[in-house]
Structure 1
Amino acid sequence: MPYTFEDRSGHVAGSDYDDIYDRMFIRVVPHPHSPTRNNNVLAIYSMGRRSTRHGDTRHLERQPSVILEFAEGAAGGLGNVNFFYPPAPSMTIPMNRYLRKTAFFGGSLSRKFRASDGREYRWEYRNADGHEWSCISEENYLVAHYDLRQPHMPAYGVSGNTLTVHESFCHLSIDIMTSLLIMRYIAEHNL
Structure 2
Amino acid sequence: MATTKGLPYILEDRNGSLTGTDFDDIYDRLFLRVAQAPQRSQHALCAIYDMGRRSVSSKSDDHRHARYNPSVVMQFGLDRSLGTVTFVNSAVSMPMGKYLRRASFLGGSLLRKFIGSDGQEYKWGHRIAEGQEWTCISADNILVAHFNLKPPRTHAYGSSGNVLTIYEEYAHLAMEILASLTIMRHIRKHNL
Do they fold alike, i.e. is TM over 0.5? yes
Structure 2 unaligned spans of 5+: 1-6
Give per-residue Cα distances to partners, 1:137-188, cap 9 Å, x unaligned: 0100010000121335312242201000011111111110000000000000
* Alignment partner, residue 44 of structure 1: 48
* Alignment partner, residue 102 of structure 1: 103
Do the aligned residues in 1 keep the contact of 2:111 with 2:125 (CA within 8 Å)? yes
Alignment of 1:120-159 (within 5 A): 120-151=121-152, 153-159=154-160
Point out 4+ residue stretches in structure 1 off by more than 3 angstroms: 33-36
- From 2, 12, 18, give the equivalent of 2:8: 2
Alignment of 1:42-81 (within 5 A): 42-53=46-57, 54-56=59-61, 57-73=63-79, 76-81=80-85
1:27 aligns with 2:33: yes
Paired-residue identity, %:
50
Write the distance in 2 (CA, Å) between the matches of 1:45 and 1:30: 10
**Aligned residue pairs: how many?**
184
3-state SS, counterpart of residue 186 of structure 2? helix
Structure 1 unaligned spans of 5+: none
Q: Which amino acid in the other structure matches residue 104 of structure 1?
A: F
Write the distance in 2 (CA, Å) between the matches of 1:129 and 1:137: 17
The structure whose RCO (Cα within 8 Å, separation 6+) is larger is 2
Do the aligned residues in 1 keep the contact of 2:75 with 2:85 (CA within 8 Å)? yes
CA RMSD in angstroms comes to: 1.5
Give per-residue Cα distances to partners, 1:112-139, cap 9 Å, x unaligned: 0011111110001001122000000010
